[in-house]
Amino acid sequence: MTEPVFRYHPDPLATGSAMPIEHECSVCGQLRQVRYRGPIYGGQPETLCLHCIYSGEASRALGVVAVATDGSDILDMPAEFSDAVDVPDDVPHHVIEEITRRTPGFTGWQQESWLYHCRDGAAFLGPAGYRDVEPHPDALNMLRASHRQLGWSPEETEEFLHRLDRNGEPTAYLFQCLHCGTHLASWDIG
Ligand SMILES: [Zn+2]
Ligand SMILES: [Zn+2]
């Protein structure tokens, strides 16, 4: 059976958010060939397939009931696979919902946030080392800009960029805008 294709996460096998292994999905009970291995903010199933993420079934089935912070209300919280952090104001709500609830997330050293461009979510291409980011000056410049804001010197920044490692740390996370093709990157460190 073919695997679902996610607009914002085109190749979860390549990014490491899924692995090819036969399993019986805890949510749908079907025998599946690809298993999700990214973060789940919600109930923790033994195993989860990509079909259940795609359909929204996983988000519903793994949702949790929480009491509002002021104790006034009981909330049904759908499970999410990534956090909506620093989302630009012009991104429609349905996009945020699709990314957080119906798109495989990815694991970083810290809690990862999705990147956005052209009023839409960007496609996640995967964790990246220096050699993965180097061909994309737009992504490199985005990393440089974030370091400038933190007060790093240009020398410190260049040294840092060369240490980026897809499997070690620090790691960059590479995205591409679905509209203008610009490459984007964030980074973190353990
Ligand atoms: Zn399933
Ligand atoms: Zn764009």
pLDDT grade for 188, boundaries at 50, 70 and 90: confident
Q: Is the peptide bond before 78 cis (omega within 30 degrees of 0)?
A: no
Same domain membership, residue 113 and residue 67: no
Same domain membership, residue 60 and residue 116: no
Check residue 113 and give its pLDDT. 84
Same domain membership, residue 3 and residue 69: yes
Distance from residue 118's CA to the centre of ligand 2 (Å) = 4
- Of 37, 64, 80, the residue at which a domain comes to its end is 80
CB-based burial, 143-159: b 16+ in 10 Å, e otherwise: bbeebeeeeeeeeebee
- Of 63, 80, 97, the residue at which a domain comes to its end is 80
Flag whether 116 is in a domain: yes
Same domain membership, residue 76 and residue 119: no
Distance from residue 29's CA to the centre of ligand 1 (Å) = 6
Distance from residue 31's CA to the centre of ligand 2 (Å) = 38
Average pLDDT over residues 86-99: 96
Same domain membership, residue 188 and residue 115: yes
Instruction: For residue range 104-156, list pLDDT tens digits in order.
Output: 999 988 877 899 999 999 999 999 999 999 999 999 999 999 999 999 999 99
Distance from residue 184's CA to the centre of ligand 2 (Å) = 9
Flag whether 151 is in a domain: yes
Flag whether 93 is in a domain: no
Number of domains in the chain: 2
Same domain membership, residue 119 and residue 62: no
Flag whether 130 is in a domain: yes
Check residue 160 and give its pLDDT. 95
Flag whether 91 is in a domain: no
Flag whether 177 is in a domain: yes
| CA–CA distance, 144 with 146 (Å, rounded to integer) | 5
Same domain membership, residue 112 and residue 76: no
Distance from residue 2's CA to the centre of ligand 1 (Å) = 13
Check residue 70 and give its pLDDT. 86
- Show the domain range for 18: 1-80
State the burial class of residue 80 (Cβ atoms within 10 Å of its Cβ: 0-12, 13-18, 19+). Answer: buried
Distance from residue 63's CA to the centre of ligand 1 (Å) = 15
Same domain membership, residue 121 and residue 52: no
Flag whether 17 is in a domain: yes
Name the residue with higher pLDDT: 188 or 91. 91
What distances in angstroms separate CA 185 from CA 21, 36, 50, 145, one per listed residue?
30, 23, 25, 11
Same domain membership, residue 116 and residue 181: yes
Same domain membership, residue 117 and residue 73: no
pLDDT grade for 1, boundaries at 50, 70 and 90: low
Flag whether 171 is in a domain: yes
Distance from residue 120's CA to the centre of ligand 2 (Å) = 8
Instruction: For residue range 19-72, list pLDDT tens digits in order.
Output: 999 999 999 999 999 999 999 999 999 999 999 999 999 999 999 888 888 888
Distance from residue 105's CA to the centre of ligand 2 (Å) = 21
Distance from residue 96's CA to the centre of ligand 1 (Å) = 22
Check residue 172 and give its pLDDT. 95
CA–centroid distance for 109 within its chain: 12
Residues 6+ apart with CB under 8 A from 1: 32, 33
Distance from residue 126's CA to the centre of ligand 1 (Å) = 23
- Of 33, 61, 80, the residue at which a domain comes to its end is 80
Distance from residue 180's CA to the centre of ligand 2 (Å) = 4
Check residue 81 and give its pLDDT. 96
Same domain membership, residue 114 and residue 187: yes
Nearest ligand by distance to the CA of 46: 1
Average pLDDT over residues 170-175: 95
